[in-house]
Chains A and B, each alone.
Chain A
Amino acid sequence: MIVADKKPVEEIIGYVRDCKKVLVLSCNECVTVCEAGGKKEAGMLASALRMYFANQGIADAQVDERTLERQCDQEYLEEIRDIADQYDAIVSVACGVGVQFTAEKYHSIPVFPGVNTCFMGVTEHRGLWTERCQGCGQCILAYTGGICPVARCAKRLFNGPCGGSSNGKCEINKDLDCAWQLIIDRLIAIDRLDLYEKLFDIKDWSTDRAGGPRKVEREDVQI
């Protein structure tokens, strides 16, 4: 899932302080799971904004909340088509994708981000999310025991580990596992250490961000 973190409420207040009617728009997917921008968090933010406006003596300010199943799909974003025009601003607590798609679909309404979108990752335990994928566009997990050196090695090494690996930890942080130590341990566990002998060719980074904004186009599923 896409992992996001809450933005300080002061920052969000800075975006909407001159608005009279604000819609806090949450998303029922990734940001709900990482407890940054789901229905509950939108409720908390809307409540805080209402109290802020009331405390500032702006009696006619209105802050509403609405949750969409997803903000990265057109059909769900259409659900607010009838009501969007009445707002001076939308604070989207979805990931950056949702914020941008909302802004794209509601061209004349300011849309502000309510969270900081961080990475694609997993829930290790409640309250701890860690990165697993950088979407490089050319997956090599088949050769690395299911552990990604692009996302998990600080140097993105393809033939690691480097000299900074010490007791299974990375030199940049003693709490950070060395990705290549994890890869070797895993290859031993699945009895495929022969894969470690494979030298990787130079990676074609054109499928990563180096090639500019990317797209996936599949004619077989297009209508």
Chain B
Amino acid sequence: MRLTYPTSFRIVRVPCSGTVDVKHILRALEKGADGVCVIGCMEGECQYKTGNLRARKRVEQVQRLLNAIGVDGERAQMYNLSSSDGPLFAKYAEDMDERIRKLGPNPMKHKTKPAA
């Protein structure tokens, strides 16, 4: 299955989407990432029961926070995916890429200190 997905994507592997905290997403955006999408397992299929549900709530919290400070909340997104569903991953990646391209570059880019 040689699928292609946008080269703009950088993957950070985590043991469970529930480990991704609001602070991690904010830091990525603060340091210049144009968008952050958290991809968790399908709802109801979390090995840790509620990790993906908590991830969604955190992403929603980031969206509210971003909107409050005048940055488009759409830059943070949550997707659910089965780990064996490569084509859907590629589709989500394209979807995210398209969504962010419509929004344009992160206004924080080059204005805050880059990540160490």
Contacts and interface: CB of A to CB of B under 8 A. Distances in A.
Contacts of A222: none
A50 B23 CA distance: 13
Interface residues of B, number: 17
Contacts of B3: none
A51 B23 contact: no
Interface stretch (B10-18, B82-90, B94-102, B107-115): B107-115
A201 interface: no
Given A47-B27, A50-B30, A55-B107, A40 B21 contact: yes
A57 to B, nearest CB: 8
Contacts of B71: 51, 55
A44 B23 contact: yes
Contacts of A51: 26, 29-30, 66, 69, 71, 108, 112
A44 B22 contact: yes
Interface of A: 8-10, 13, 40, 43-44, 47-52, 54-57, 59
Interface of B: 21-23, 26-27, 29-30, 65-66, 68-71, 107-108, 111-112
Given A50-B30, A55-B111, 15 more contacts: A9-B68, A9-B69, A13-B68, A13-B69, A40-B21, A44-B22, A44-B23, A47-B23, A47-B26, A47-B27, A47-B30, A49-B69, A54-B107, A54-B112, A59-B111
